Amino acid sequence: MTEEAVHLTGLSREELERFAEGMGEPAYRGRQIFSAVQRRRLRSFDEMTDLPKAFRERLAAEAVASTLTVESRYVAADGTRRYLMKTSDGMPVETVFIPEERRDTVCFSSQSGCPLQCDFCLTAKLGLLRSLTAGEIVEQIVIALNDAYGVGAKTPRGTNLVAMGAGEPFLAFDSLMKALGVMADREGLFIVPNRVTVSTAGVVPKIKELATIPERPHLAISLAAPNDELRDRLMPINKRWPLHELLAACKEFEASLRPGERFTFEYVMLDGVNDSDEHARQLARLLNRHHLRAKVNLIPHNPADPLPYRPSTEERVESFKAVLEAKGVHAFVRRPRGRDIFAACGQLAARGGEPNRPALYQIS
């Protein structure tokens, strides 16, 4: 892909209409392109046979419909699929498809690597390579759905999206929101924001900005610790926006919650680090003090070398959960998916080669 080529997968229907008109074609050609790329999930101009051949040839000279290539694909015992993709400039992108009973879920990345250095997350060892474009975000979902169902086939159970792959979504905020807008179009993928959850480590200004967006996704906050001292160590972003600022932003965000909607706080359970009953009491006090409509997802740590942590025992997780619930905090245990292919939360790190060997940025 040349720098001048326009990535059509990241453009809205209206932008594609203007793009077609700029090429001297009627606006409806742009709508045809949008339908081909988004609804039918085609990734090659040659497949868009409803377009005149001469127009397709001109498109191939000025634009691209696909930029990501799948380097590796692994399937876990529970049906979870992990994809290692590569951008046109060689950056690794990881995406996970999670089959579920009612709706399947695609966990997508917003960045290649991540700058936040959370101590329990393998992606942090990569550092930030770059943020992804809107088109690269949308392409991940297109590739996963095509692999699961076939090109152009309808999704039998619908699709949920979670921005919990590699990267901090709120550091790629504009690209993320643009991608969600493109995917929400009923003439395309039609995955509306109400079926999307975005997880942040706590970028306070963007939490406040998200609250102002009428058609917004659900928000999840990664906490990992109930006090600043421990969170500073586990999640260095806390030194920039400590817990009192983060929870104040959440309280401000609460005004935008829809009926029945709650905050989701993600709490990774690290054996002997943040999983005591006292930690649970501290967490309950923290949330209750701010009177937040919230639930807490308890996530047993997904181990991977070279991370120094172990997952909390099942008994410890249940005890932690019981303390929270006794204090009036809704708590749930989130079971890991795809752990055997390193597709579980916190395990993505651009692996190539053997799926059960955690390498960093090793593309086979």
Q: Is residue 305 part of a domain?
A: yes
pLDDT at 337 > cutoff 70: no
Q: Is the pLDDT of residue 351 over 80?
A: no
Share of the chain above pLDDT 70, in %: 91
Identify which of 38, 68, 19, 33 has the alpha carbon closest to the alpha carbon of residue 184. Answer: 38
Is residue 104 predicted with pLDDT exceeding 70? yes
Q: In this structure, is residue 336 part of a structural domain? A: yes
Cα angle, residue 118 at apex, residues 114 and 122 outer, rounded to 5°: 65
Per-residue confidence band for 358, with pLDDT thresholds at 50, 70 and 90: very low
Residues 30 and 55 in one domain: yes
Neighbours of 70 (CB within 10 A): 14
* Domain containing residue 147: CATH number: 3.20.20.70
pLDDT at 339 over 80: no
Sheet with 330-333, side-by-side order of all strands = 69-75, 81-86, 92-98, 104-107, 159-163, 196-200, 218-222, 263-269, 294-300, 330-333
Cα–Cα dist 66/139, whole Å: 7
Is there a domain that residue 359 lies in?
A: no
**Is residue 1 one of the residues assigned to a domain?**
no
Specify the number of domains making up the chain: 2
Q: Which residues does residue 339 pair with via DSSP β-bridges, in sequence order? A: none
Tell me which residues are annotated as active site.
94, 345
Average pLDDT (125-139) is 94
Q: Which domain holds residue 122?
A: 69-341
Mean pLDDT of the chain: 90
350, part of any domain: no
Task: List the beta bridge partners of residue 47.
Answer: none
Mean pLDDT of 174-179: 97
pLDDT of 361 reads 44
Using one digit for the tens of pLDDT, what is the confidence trace for 154-170? Answer: 877 789 999 998 999 99
Highest mean pLDDT among 14-18, 74-78, 263-267: 14-18
Per-residue model confidence (pLDDT) at position 362: 42
pLDDT in tens, 285-313: 999 999 988 899 999 888 777 788 999 99
Over 90: is that where the pLDDT of 60 sits?
yes
pLDDT tens digits for 185-235? 999 999 999 999 999 999 999 999 999 998 999 999 999 999 999 999 999
pLDDT at site 345: 52
